[in-house]
């Protein structure tokens, strides 16, 4: 159900994955900062962005780093698409390591 802002929890959870900016906004702005579902997806999106940044740094290593970068970014892209789809359906899809951190930060 859409709340007083007109944005449903599912839409806000999926929108948190678009970039890191909506995720941060959802963690700061009420009523989203009190909703554990939206907070979970916002934190998971932020941690996914941090993982992408870390894999990007690995790209500096000449050959092995570039192979790890390509495989890692492909895996993160697939995880990102899955997270968007699951959030839009109302599911709390938890990524292996990142999901536990997101749950802890969201207070779930």
Distance CA 13, CA 53 (A): 21
pTM of the model: 0.87
Q: What pLDDT, in 10s, does the model give residues 65-104?
A: 999 999 999 999 999 999 999 999 999 899 999 999 999 9
Mean pLDDT confidence for 30-52:
92
Between 84 and 108, residue with greater pLDDT:
84
pLDDT of 5: 60
Domain assignments of the chain as residue spans, ordered by start: 9-106
- HSE-up (13 A, CA, CB side) for residue 35: 22
Mean pLDDT confidence for 32-61:
93
- HSE-up (13 A, CA, CB side) for residue 37: 16
């Amino acid at each position: 159900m859409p709340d007083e802002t007109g944005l449903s929890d599912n839409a806000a959870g999926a929108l948190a994955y678009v970039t890191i900016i909506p995720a941060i906004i959802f963690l700061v702005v009420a009523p989203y900062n009190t909703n554990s579902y939206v907070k979970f997806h916002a934190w998971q999106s932020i941690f996914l962005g941090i993982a992408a940044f870390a894999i990007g740094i690995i790209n500096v290593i000449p050959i092995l780093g570039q192979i790890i970068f390509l495989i890692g970014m492909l895996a993160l892209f697939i995880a990102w698409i899955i997270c968007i789809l699951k959030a839009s359906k109302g599911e709390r899809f938890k990524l292996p390591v990142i999901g536990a951190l997101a749950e802890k930060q969201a207070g779930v």
